[in-house]
Amino acid sequence: MTKRRSSTSSSSPLNTRLILVGLAIILVLIVIYGVQGALSMIGAALGLDLGPTPTPPAQVNVSVETPGPQTPSAGGAGNAIQVYFTDPTAFTGDETQGGVETHLVDLINGAQSTIDGAMYQFNLQDVADALIAAHNRGVKIRIAYDNEYTEPDPQMKQVIDAGIQAVPDERSAFMHDKFFVIDGQTVWTGSWNVTTNDTFRNNNNALIIRSTQLAQNYTAEIDEMMNGQFGPDSPANTPNPSLTLNGIQIENYFSPEDEPMPHLISLASTAQKTLHFMTFSFTDDDLANAIIQRAQAGVQVAGIFESRGANTEASSCPPLLSAGLDVRLDGNKYTFHHKVLIVDSAVVAVGSFNWSNNAANSNDENLLIIHDPNIAALYEQEFNKQMGISIAPVGGQCLTK
């Protein structure tokens, strides 16, 4: 009598594996599409009508959306650098939120462990609320601030009363930095103060840079200020004054200890084709002479000054105008607050650093020099936009009328 093969032979493990794989696939479909969606897809595969075919979930867009009319750009280092420009023409001037600060609020809301901030001015309530909420969920926050320009408004008192550690600079010179470091990984900086004026009325730029090396620099600066070391008392200990982020060279200097002005002059002196600038305060003679020399060497030079103070004895506008350079006065009835130098559409210098003796020798400031044509192009675009609404000086003087 011939014996049947047992059904528990080699085919049994195979069937078990197939069942387990099938169950795993069903579970994955349920997680992605939900129960009804999973049934629909299984039905479609079997030729059965078990419900409508689901729409696959949209991929998450990791680029930053722009609130309102602010101008964003994810312009370099694989989206590791983002640039924003304020647009005063798009607002009535009565707004208190919904501008470029929403990107900073997003960073604060996403913080997991630490936030370090340095503020010259501070009166945006949504930023104060975000900082307090972060503190309440356990994020360690440290703030350095200029007491003269923050204490008149209630927001700094609110964050201090909430238990956030904050150290004032009580010198007559300014703690003029405007930066944040999130989780030791991301830096927010630029010319933009945390105020309604700088958000909705004044021309400014801000950057988000995702770099642990750059974050180390700004954290070291906060460490100094939390120890009461402001201005000339700050040690020259920037960990990474030159670093590379996804192939982009970034120089980073703090004032006064790192002496940013010679680096800015050196950059201007390298211009071979174009040299463009946008400036709130420009009174440094050596920088002005370096720019004039490049113009005399055939470099196309053009720049925009904040109109207030442009025609003073200390201003560099009159000597540049007298040298025949294309200098303009800004078209904003409020404040033109940029501090931007663009060389050969390839390198851009930005930050809180005004081109003045006080900024170089007394204030706390920061300067970035970013060697990247993509980032420089974003600033060239803003420069060209502002040149289009700028005002030519009249009567051989740096005056609008």
Decide if 339 is catalytic: yes
Tell me, letter by letter, the H, E, C secondary structure of the chain.
Answer: CCCCCCCCCCHHHHHHHHHHHHHHHHHHHHHHHHHHHHHHHHHHHHCCCCCCCCCCCCCCCCCCCCCCCCEEEEEECCCCEEEEECCHHHCCCCCCCCCCHHHHHHHHHHCCCEEEEEECCECCHHHHHHHHHHHHCCCEEEEEEEHHHHCCCCHHHHHHHCCCEEEEECCCCCECCCEEEECCCEEEEECCCECHHHHHCCECEEEEEECHHHHHHHHHHHHHHHCCCCHHHCCCCCCCCEEEECCEEEEEEEECCCCHHHHHHHHHHCCCCEEEEEECCECCHHHHHHHHHHHHCCCEEEEEECCCCCCCCCCCHHHHHHCCCEEEECCCCCCECCEEEEECCCEEEEECCCECHHHHHCCEEEEEEEECHHHHHHHHHHHHHHHHCCECCCCCCCCCC
Task: Verify whether residue 87 is a known catalytic residue.
Answer: no
- Catalytic site residue from 337, 338, 364, 371: 337
Among 135, 233, 344, 385, the one annotated catalytic: 344
344 assigned to active site: yes
**Which one of the listed residues 339, 364, 371, 372 is annotated catalytic?**
339
Active site residues: 337, 339, 344
